[in-house]
Structure 1
């Protein structure tokens, strides 16, 4: 587990309700085209150019390269004269830190070698991605750790009007298209993002991550959002409802939880299409176009696409049987159960507890099926019903003891959302609202005595 130590530069708006409720709101607006105008040197910590990864690079000979096809960690370390016993210790510690056998072709790495006559490898640094890296330290005790670079959190405002799809609209505006996934997660229970209308609108207050050199590395989260769909307004405000697990829910301006007891689909948005709906009079090609009731909803997706539980529950069946192929059935309470057919492989066992959104299997073509999909079946009081027509119960609203604090908090981001212009052309960036994040690696480190 990584502990985060945050130093706020000048000012960053954070609101905390003790005993369980944490909410955040900051205001930035603009687009990525103007991000080069930001002065990223503003009040950043003074660090020597020789210091990287917490190591004085001048003390070592540096090997800078990328992983090639066929390269292995052991062979690389042997080539650069690392201590054999320490290499063995490092590879055995991967199970709880990083599997050193999974270094990927094309990823950059660095090897720091001693400047003496032995010129032995002392440190191996593998770049997992732009933000994360794995450091294998052979000096003294063997240490394997996964770490993150310091980065800036910047909050920005984005807005737009749907022309065809949210994904295409974001692309045309030059906004990170992953924002569509974030918004679809927030509104998964209230808006069908495959059925957006031309003229639908959105506004968001987004936290983005940037490295010290100004490189954009992705969305950190959404503080608040507004979506106008078919003339109806949907607000969303982030609240950390569990300080232990870090669970964040989104609530509307009235304190109602946007999350429902059930997700609308057993697959993530953008990974599927509905190929067949619940229809008791459907003619099925697989059975010679005879009328045969189809009591499920088919979600087509590529083989291997993760299938997720639509609600918390207990697995009552997980097996292979006839036309169902490989499937799982989950009991959620005394009223509702769900079933997931035609899997390629199961990821759960009978009697196992599952959480909403947990991967329970993968798309396949087992049983009676003409193409890769999951047949999602929804049971209410022992009878199969159309899941898309059910009025599903909502999750708990804001606790009454937090209500006043929540409504006081909401006013600021609510007013901020209302002031966002749909035709934004410039970046209104306030350097007084930069947050500089320095992650410290703690529990993701293993040490072995050499």
Structure 2
């Protein structure tokens, strides 16, 4: 799986919502499978997104699975919840942020499209789940790495040729009607470079000029071109267009990107530690910016009153690292437990997965069965506790909700009830299994 954030979000959000729910794709072709709404309401999202006067009203992106990557409906729900708690830690859906999730399956793979309003709901300040900067890019890349490792999928290895040649696939030389022409030119460039006929940037520039491209500007790390039939110049950046690029090395990286890569146990743990560090930093930022009252600050509504004995207000607490780690591990465990053996790929029998299991068993020793059962029980109890708090919060909101919003909350309550029933049954089952486990002997 991989995550892509689209360069959209300006103006009204109606067009984005309409596209996600349309029965035709971006080329106007009829979808073989109709879109499915997973979370959120299209009308409510549009109203909230358009309420701000900011130019950038929403963020649009997609979690895309590769053709042979299979996930269950339960895993999809948990993945979305993990995405929320990762990139919006300390914030609550419908209380602090609004999102809209739609699943597309018409391309023979699963795509989870999402829209996020760029406004924090209680303070009306700007909220951006994907702010600019290398640190944020690393945050998203680390999340993808951890998720792929947890699902048993191969890692996403960047192909420098695909990255560099993507602008040719995004802009047609002869307008949108001539898609074949743009694809053909990208394929020709790819073949020439991989075949060793274009071995440096100067040869690339010469080849492009011979094929009718005007190149008005050349920089150290970019070239600016006018594609045939285009009205504006396009700046091309990437490995191929840097002055000092070694094309032989880029071709080698291109071939390496086609070989499936899986993380070692040490690499997997390193990625999890990095992800926790990113979440911790984002949580601290959210606490300061959105959850700490400021003198004279105006809020659009008063937070609901909590029941006696409930946790303190957001502004009075910080999220410890061990809590973030525990929550993440619980979600990752849940994703594994929700896999469907009937549809799961046979990745469990791959050599690196077998070696990892054996390594883990050697570390755990004879206590692993008992400890694993205890962890499973603790995880279920934590889930039930968390869902119970959500259920109680929704009940409080329902008391003052009306019309469509009340119907929405009732549907959420029904869904939570089903989850709680299923989890409680699972908890009883796990407790019975734990009673049958052999007790460890001490010598």
TM above 0.5: no
TM-score bracket, shorter-length normalisation: under 0.3
- The TM-score, its normalising length taken from structure 1, stands at 0.22
**Which structure: greater helix fraction?**
2
- The TM-score, its normalising length taken from structure 2, stands at 0.23
**Which structure: greater strand fraction?**
1
